[in-house]
Amino acid sequence: MKEAMSCGNYRKAAELGFLYRQSGFKNWYVTLNLAISLARSHFGNFDEILKIGHESIIESNNNPLAIISLAEIMLSTGNWEEGLEILDNIYFKDKKKFDYYLWEIYQVKCQLLSRIGKFTDAEKILSDWPITDRDWRWKMVLADMEIQKSNWIVAEDIYKELLQKNPLSKICNFNLGLVLLSQKKCKEGWQFYEWRNKNPRQGANGIPYKLPTLDSLKGKRVLVKSEMGIGDQIMMGRYLKDLSSIVSRLTICLSTRLKNIYQRSLPKNIEFITSSNFEKNDFDEIIGTGSLAGIFWEYLELNLKNSNFLLADSKKVDQWSKYLSKYQGKKKIGIAWRGGTTGADHRERSLKENDIKFLSFWENSVFFDIQFLNSEENYPEYLKKDKNIIRIDRAGFDLDESIALIKALDYVITPRQTIAHLIGSINEKGSVLVPKRQEWRYWEQENNWEWYPNVDYQKQRDRDSWLRELNNIRDKI
């Protein structure tokens, strides 16, 4: 389990942790690492992860490491206030032990405070830490806080300073890439973005190979491996048509959910596969999806001429139009209400109950819930009771159906997630709700989403509320 975790294979580590428990053994350290592995691999639901984390505290007789680690897990599950509470109530009989763990407590506490916008409290903790003890860990926490505040320039300076001392730090290089891209410093930013974990163009030591040039790809057999989420795959898909005209053979390894749509929308000379069990020797170059923008940026930048490259199935569009015709005379609006895969993502990118209730005051409108869920058991009770919102059966499971439905609707409202990219890529009308802490995928230009100018851009003003932005959309449409 320890070896799997050290390699970043948290799913394997979680499986080994479950096997250990099923064998009847109990060890608080294994239980704790199981909770950590589940949180980092997004394997299991958040309630289960927190339950296992609490078990480790009981099994360890309130060991400080178990308590601090549970608070750190709560960073990813979105239970930020609860994490602060357990850190505030941590108890040490031995003052030497308290001093030993003090930085770990403060580090997690600063990150939790930053997530709920209590920057003054986080800044005080950091400023009170002795100057002589402000090592690289202190600077990493400071950089994290500046990112939460969208102070990209400050964060950039911190990462560059850290990289002077440790130029091969994977997390510093990657975070610097994100910070540069968030400032639209793209030429430099794409180079550092190559340090992302799943990039297939990395050596055994994790150091990425230099991005290939377009000239070097001419006449080559190229495989593009999808190593990003579906929304990102769609966003980077705008470069595939141009790539296919340069290389001798282009193969795309992509999500099964996208295969039919891509086959319809992209040139016929592209081959599509959904299994990662390909023979590497069949290709001259293997490129990650996330590298496409960096390769093409000097020539095409955002490549807006191909940003609306997806084609809907016309028969499916007609079927959905026929279904929606019973609501003639009303605005037919699609609504997605949750983004991301972690609890922290959900906390930042989701519409709350009050936001949903506000929709009931929209005149002459009917809403269609197109939110993808792994299980309908996770469907909130307040949405089940809302008669103005019609739940689409198995929404999002078939993306072919999703884009056909979006095409038939009058408008779509969504937070940062796949639906936003679908609206943009089929050139339909919609609004994307962008959290207070934005990032490079969601640049704004003249109140529109820069990657997809057909999509209205609504930047959040108040944390944990989208009422102002929803009101803006109501006035707009």
From first to last of the 477 residues of the chain, give the pLDDT tens digit.
888 887 778 889 999 999 998 998 889 999 999 999 998 887 778 889 999 999 999 999 988 999 999 999 999 999 999 999 999 988 777 778 788 889 999 999 999 999 999 999 999 999 999 999 999 999 999 999 999 999 999 999 999 999 999 999 999 999 999 999 999 999 999 999 999 989 999 998 889 999 999 999 999 999 999 999 999 999 999 999 999 999 999 999 999 999 999 999 999 999 999 988 899 999 999 999 999 999 999 999 999 999 999 999 999 999 999 999 999 999 999 999 999 988 999 999 999 999 999 998 999 999 999 999 987 877 888 898 888 899 999 898 999 999 999 999 999 999 999 999 999 999 999 999 999 888 899 999 999 999 999 999 999 999 889 999 999 999 999
Query: pTM (2 decimals)?
Result: 0.93
- Cα separations (Å) of 30 from 23, 36, 394, 431? 13, 10, 37, 45
Domains contained in the chain, CATH given:
2-134 (1.25.40), 214-306 (3.40.50), 314-476 (3.40.50.2000)
The answer to whether 311 and 382 have CB atoms below 8 angstroms apart is no
Give the residue among 476, 62, 248 at the shortest CA–CA distance from 54: 62
Q: Considering only the C-alpha atoms of the chain, give the largest distance between any 2 of them, rounded to a whole number of Å.
A: 72
Pairwise CA distance, residues 73 & 40, whole Å? 8
Which element (helix H / strand E) includes 14? helix 10-22
Pairwise CA distance, residues 429 & 473, whole Å? 12
